[in-house]
Amino acid sequence: MRMRKLKHLTDRQQRCQAVWIQDPEAHWGHWPDLYPEATELWLEIGCGKGKFTALTAEANPQALLLGMERVPEAHVMAMEKAMEMGLQNVRYLIYDAQKMDKCFAPGELDGIFLNFSDPWPATRHARRRLTHRDFLARYAKALKPGGKLWFKTDNTGLFEFSVKEFERSGWKLSEVTRDLHADGVVGIMTGYEEKFHAQGIPICRLVAQYVGAEP
């Protein structure tokens, strides 16, 4: 995500201490301790400005929702949104999904959200896509048996690539659609999603569960 530099970024970050996890790796295996009331632990990778993260946390008080983002400017805006809403069951971390095995213990997550990830359209950049098999292996390790991954994108090329990667990597797919909102809005939208939908751009979506590669 490319964003303009924000003034007073450090000061704004410091005002969000209540929801900012500054040392994610220190919580390896102990994330539920942050919100003992939670019965589920969900992660959104690439949460951007945090609209989906915050609204999903608000609608699911039984879950602790973690928003992972690499861009500090987007990260601080996501934190400010959660603070304004007074949410108790959401936390944010600046982190790279490539290192998530250092951040989450095996089987620690109940669910993962991938919303409108960078499609990296060039073939030479395929391994950077968050649905490449290398990333899928990390997600499979971090998810509990039966845990779910929800994936949405407006990019049909990325979606078709992703379907093949999931299937080849031992994931069972359900709710596969290439026009999620054809009959009306379904679920909570991200900021990007609202813009795409308003422009008539179809949204692709699937739900995946890791069942293991065939022998």
**pLDDT tens sequence across 45-102:** 999 999 999 999 999 999 999 999 999 999 999 999 999 999 999 999 999 999 999 9
Residue 1 lies in a domain: no
Q: Give the chain's domain count.
A: 1
Q: Which of 110, 116, 107, 96 is closest to 48 using CA atoms?
A: 116
Tens digit of each residue's pLDDT (9 = 90 or more) over 138-157: 999 999 999 999 999 999 99
- What single-letter amino acid sits at 21? I
| Domain annotation covers residue 98 | yes
Which DSSP letter does residue 41 get? E
Q: Is residue 12 part of a domain?
A: no
Residue 154 lies in a domain: yes
- Residue 84 structural domain: 40-210
Considering the entire predicted model, what is its pTM? 0.93
Tell me how many degrees the CA angle 150-49-113 measures, rounded to the nearest 5. 10
Edge-to-edge, what's the strand order for the sheet holding 143-153? Answer: 90-94, 63-69, 40-45, 109-115, 143-153, 204-210, 171-177
Residue given tokens 């924000």 in the structure block: 6
Q: Active site includes 118? A: yes
Amino acid at 166: F
Query: Which residue among the candidates 23, 110, 118, 179 is catalytic per the annotation?
Result: 118
CATH of the domain at 139: 3.40.50.150
Predicted local confidence at residue 213, as pLDDT: 64
Number of C-beta neighbours around residue 100 at 10 A = 20
Residue 196 lies in a domain: yes
Q: For 159-210, write each residue's pLDDT tens digit.
A: 999 999 999 999 999 999 999 999 999 999 999 999 999 999 999 999 999 9
What does residue 148 show for φ and ψ, rounded to 5 degrees?
-115, 150
